[in-house]
Structure 1
């Protein structure tokens, strides 16, 4: 009988013995549960080979942190396995067809061993496998079709190996693959050609390599990619078309690279991006609109940016859906400009710990909407300017905030301080003093204005009265009387001044006002302006005794004016609108003119006014003065009055 036959007999005997008394043969340091069909052999079991005395019906076998060096034929006894974990052992290689009996196996974890090579025969028989973990081994390359026998594989972890070359057809057959880890390898370029076979891939981790730059269409073929991790990829430059085609990307990690500026234009194409991690880069400022186009961004993490010093206003201007903002461990960040976060209505979680922030303004953001605030480990200067924050800490369940200065408040909790501790008492006194001064100045100004108005009340009243009279005169009389008629109609003609009217015909010339007392007489031919506001008809040398008065004829109390005629209509225009009015026939109106008289007695030097003062005639409102003029005694009105210069009349 051959030795191989004896080995088979011995294994068969052991198998039946294990089936008969599984619990009795559970290795030392292992946990065997026949009810759940789970066996766990952790570090204390010190196994160097796979045990063959376990219950052959077990479904979950975990032999982690032991010293197993190879997978031998004993694995064939456990055909019911769904889960096998042989991580953190000393496996150097996996013989071909080692898992030929594991038709039901769904998860295989061989991570953190010393496996350096494998072929497409290595995984033969694993038709149901969905998760394969080979992380932390010594793999150097991926050959063509190495995973082609795993049609149902959904997650493949090849991270933390030594892979420097990937065959373009290495992932052939992985039609169901959704998660791929290639991070922490020795790739010097993105393996774009191999991605064309991964049309279902949703999550890709390729950070911790040595890419230095991302070329255009670096991820061509990955149209369904939702998560892309490029953390620690050594990126210095990202071309404008690097993310082209990634329209469904939701999560992007660009942390731990060497970017000098935020790649705003490159990121703007990722309109569906919701989570962005951008810390541990070399940019010094977050400028306005740095994240333009990222309208769906909900979480932004900028942690460990050692050169970051300032965040400008409107840096997050278009990120209205931002819910969580993490700005932590940026040792030079001491300036967050006022209003930088005020336009974020959905912000609920703000982490500002371990920065160089000394103070914050209340207008920084809408604090009443915030649910979580972390401000620990900042060199805060606790003065009156942080009184508002102290009140917010009492109102909301925010993290503890300690003072770094001034010296007498060092290490004290801001929440426990009073306004006097923050030096707000003196500030309140100063504010009250300023308010009092302002009030006193306003009251003094108002008092001065009132006194001035009272002192000059008469002038103000006269000015206001003149303004009202002029406005009424222009609107009611000037527009009413400014019409010119022919000689035949015996109507008034309006010349340069609205206050002077002429009856047509007659010789030029009329009385003129002489010089005022103490003044000089006008030059020969010069005009003396006569502001007037009434009209009186004066006919002939005895004009003051035979007047035709318009609209204001008052008989003298002594009745000395028997020939006084009145135009009863009260309006110059209405009184003279009919050319057949008997009162002003052609005989009476020829060589006559109308002038207006002012209330201030400016006509006193005229004969009519003197006669009126002597008690012969009542003061008229409208008078008709002969165009031929008159010269009462003791007056020096001999200069002509032309029709073209009626201001002189």
Structure 2
């Protein structure tokens, strides 16, 4: 063992004795720019110029925060603070962490080393951290994860490795993390989804962040061992397609982010595996149309974000068939979206929030959704043509004016109404003299139907006027007259006589009523008798 090493140990021992002596006196040396509280056992060093760890703090401290300083490394003075439960050394200039730097910190529960310049870690870096639950290494320069890098930390629940330069992960790098629930691997340089063996070592994983990498595609069954995963973040992962079995095994998934990829179609077949999914963000992709039944497999979907799809032009009728539990729908900032058929959003009885902001919509159908049932509505920043077709929307906005839950709608056309609020326009300005066009059409149809019924009834009355007159005179009088006429007929003639028509005219009489006499002769019946 070198002389320098002996001198280092001797110096460290002296410093420990000095610190314990200060603690015995109830005093601790608090560096300039730090706040030291011996009652709560907390030390917080704000932004400053500290380039080494303080060596004379109270050894009993439990929380130490030295952020936004100029620390270059973790030196031997760290061993003096073996009672730490929380350590934050983020936003410093640390390039490396010496091995066994935390060998004496069996009580440490959270370690934050994010936003430094650390380039490498190994399984010897974190020896001694047997009780740690949170390790944050975000924003460093780590390029790979070696074999069993984090195995000493069996109780680790959250591991943040985002915003590094990781391009390779040993299949057994995460072995031993049986209690890990949250893993950040986003914003690295991975070109493939980590090996299946990597995920097999994480039986408790609930949240996985893999966005901002360059996957292009997802291998079949890549996540099949993550049976308890509830959140999967793949935004900005460079995905061009998602195969039918890519999401196999994710039956428990509740939230997924597929935004900012290169998908040209909605991966409907893959979604069939996600029967419990409640939240989906699939905006900023390359599809041009949302087909009928595009999300058919997502029976429990409640929150859908489909924003910023620069090529999206149309949402087909029945696009959300099977999503009857949908409550929040955001279809904003789709710069070419100009077509929303009347039945595009049909079958959504629980819909409470609709955001159609910043699209290319010029009008909307009144039957698109049950507008009056919505709690939140945003139709702003669309090039609406303010005419009689939007009179219903004007009435709706006026009825909700006091609540502030509905965003104002501004007119784009005609030019005379440009930039004017729709809700403040009088009906004549919208070209509506007698109400909405739909109401006018209904009234017109009713008028035509009524006129047709009246005309038909008049014709019927005119045709049967004589018969009606007979009925009004009463059956008794007619009966007496009929019996008198019957006396002049023989039995055979009477039996052969046809019944009177609607006008009471005998067909053989040439339009005049005759009564047959004896010998076959007849005489005209006087009108008075009729």
In the alignment, which residue of structure 1 is the partner of 2:82?
A: 79
User: Aligned pair 1:358/2:362, yes or no?
Assistant: yes
Indicate if the aligned counterparts of 1:119 and 1:146 stay in contact, CA closer than 8 A. Answer: yes
Q: Closer, same or farther in 2 for the Cα pair 1:93/1:337, shift >3 Å?
A: same
Q: Residue 419 of structure 1 is aligned with which of 427, 430, 436?
A: 427
Q: Closer, same or farther in 2 for the Cα pair 1:6/1:597, shift >3 Å?
A: closer
1:208-287 equivalent positions in 2, closer than 5 A? 208-287=212-291
In the alignment, which residue of structure 1 is the partner of 2:474?
A: none
Indicate if the aligned counterparts of 2:49 and 2:70 stay in contact, CA closer than 8 A. Answer: yes
Deviation at 1:114, TM superposition (A): 1.1
Deviation at 1:295, TM superposition (A): 0.7
Deviations 1:141-169 (A, max 9, x none): 11111111111011111111111111111
User: Aligned pair 1:166/2:174, yes or no?
Assistant: no
Counterparts of 2:366 and 2:108 in 1: how far apart (Å)? 59
Indicate if the aligned counterparts of 2:16 and 2:80 stay in contact, CA closer than 8 A. Answer: no
In the alignment, which residue of structure 2 is the partner of 1:439?
A: 447
In the alignment, which residue of structure 2 is the partner of 1:202?
A: 206
Q: Closer, same or farther in 2 for the Cα pair 1:448/1:602, shift >3 Å?
A: closer
User: Aligned pair 1:118/2:121, yes or no?
Assistant: yes
In the alignment, which residue of structure 2 is the partner of 1:548?
A: none
Counterparts of 2:333 and 2:391 in 1: how far apart (Å)? 25
* Count of equivalent residues: 485
Q: Residue 32 of structure 2 is aligned with which of 28, 32, 42?
A: 28
Deviation at 1:59, TM superposition (A): 1.9
In the alignment, which residue of structure 2 is the partner of 1:407?
A: 415
Q: Closer, same or farther in 2 for the Cα pair 1:613/1:140, shift >3 Å?
A: closer
Counterparts of 1:240 and 1:132 in 2: how far apart (Å)? 35
Deviations 1:449-499 (A, max 9, x none): 52564256459999xxxxxxxxxxxxxxxxxxxxxxxxxxxxxxxxxxxxx
Deviations 1:208-230 (A, max 9, x none): 11111112111131111111111
Counterparts of 2:288 and 2:253 in 1: how far apart (Å)? 27
Q: Closer, same or farther in 2 for the Cα pair 1:5/1:226, shift >3 Å?
A: closer
Q: Residue 12 of structure 2 is aligned with which of 8, 14, 22?
A: 8
Deviation at 1:404, TM superposition (A): 2.6
Q: Closer, same or farther in 2 for the Cα pair 1:31/1:383, shift >3 Å?
A: farther
Q: Residue 307 of structure 2 is aligned with which of 303, 306, 310?
A: 303
Bigger RCO of structures 1 and 2 (CA < 8 A, at least 6 apart): 1
Q: Closer, same or farther in 2 for the Cα pair 1:277/1:58, shift >3 Å?
A: same
In the alignment, which residue of structure 1 is the partner of 2:496?
A: 598
Indicate if the aligned counterparts of 1:70 and 1:93 stay in contact, CA closer than 8 A. Answer: yes
Deviation at 1:124, TM superposition (A): 0.7
Counterparts of 1:204 and 1:77 in 2: how far apart (Å)? 36
1:97-136 equivalent positions in 2, closer than 5 A? 97-136=100-139
Q: Closer, same or farther in 2 for the Cα pair 1:420/1:141, shift >3 Å?
A: same
* TM-score for the superposition, normalised by structure 2: 0.83
Counterparts of 1:350 and 1:247 in 2: how far apart (Å)? 28
Name the SS for the 1:391 alignment partner.
helix
Q: Closer, same or farther in 2 for the Cα pair 1:609/1:135, shift >3 Å?
A: same
In the alignment, which residue of structure 2 is the partner of 1:625?
A: none
In the alignment, which residue of structure 1 is the partner of 2:480?
A: none
Counterparts of 2:124 and 2:445 in 1: how far apart (Å)? 92
In the alignment, which residue of structure 1 is the partner of 2:159?
A: 156
Structure 2: segments with no counterpart, 5+ residues: 471-484, 499-505, 510-515, 523-530
Which region of structure 1 is more displaced relative to structure 2, 398-407 or 133-142? 398-407
Q: Closer, same or farther in 2 for the Cα pair 1:58/1:409, shift >3 Å?
A: farther
Deviation at 1:318, TM superposition (A): 0.7
Counterparts of 1:212 and 1:431 in 2: how far apart (Å)? 53
Indicate if the aligned counterparts of 1:334 and 1:358 stay in contact, CA closer than 8 A. Answer: yes
In the alignment, which residue of structure 2 is the partner of 1:377?
A: 381
What root-mean-square deviation, in Å, do the aligned CA atoms of Structure 1 and Structure 2 show? 3.4
Indicate if the aligned counterparts of 1:23 and 1:32 stay in contact, CA closer than 8 A. Answer: no
User: Aligned pair 1:137/2:140, yes or no?
Assistant: yes
Indicate if the aligned counterparts of 2:28 and 2:56 stay in contact, CA closer than 8 A. Answer: no
Counterparts of 1:247 and 1:8 in 2: how far apart (Å)? 55
In the alignment, which residue of structure 2 is the partner of 1:58?
A: 61
In the alignment, which residue of structure 1 is the partner of 2:502?
A: none
User: Aligned pair 1:398/2:402, yes or no?
Assistant: no
Name the SS for the 1:404 alignment partner.
strand
Counterparts of 1:208 and 1:277 in 2: how far apart (Å)? 15
Counterparts of 1:441 and 1:146 in 2: how far apart (Å)? 83
* TM-score for the superposition, normalised by structure 1: 0.68
Indicate if the aligned counterparts of 2:12 and 2:77 stay in contact, CA closer than 8 A. Answer: no
Deviation at 1:444, TM superposition (A): 7.4
Q: Closer, same or farther in 2 for the Cα pair 1:597/1:146, shift >3 Å?
A: closer
Name the SS for the 1:373 alignment partner.
strand
Q: Closer, same or farther in 2 for the Cα pair 1:262/1:56, shift >3 Å?
A: same
Counterparts of 2:437 and 2:321 in 1: how far apart (Å)? 39
In the alignment, which residue of structure 2 is the partner of 1:450?
A: 458
Name the SS for the 1:177 alignment partner.
coil
User: Aligned pair 1:180/2:78, yes or no?
Assistant: no
Name the SS for the 1:283 alignment partner.
coil
Deviation at 1:35, TM superposition (A): 3.4
Q: Closer, same or farther in 2 for the Cα pair 1:13/1:368, shift >3 Å?
A: same
In the alignment, which residue of structure 1 is the partner of 2:481?
A: none
Deviations 1:624-648 (A, max 9, x none): xxxxxxxxxxxxxxxxxxxxxxxxx
In the alignment, which residue of structure 1 is the partner of 2:197?
A: 193
Counterparts of 2:256 and 2:96 in 1: how far apart (Å)? 35
Q: Closer, same or farther in 2 for the Cα pair 1:60/1:313, shift >3 Å?
A: same
Which is higher, the Rg of structure 1 or of structure 2?
1
Counterparts of 1:375 and 1:603 in 2: how far apart (Å)? 77
Counterparts of 1:346 and 1:430 in 2: how far apart (Å)? 26
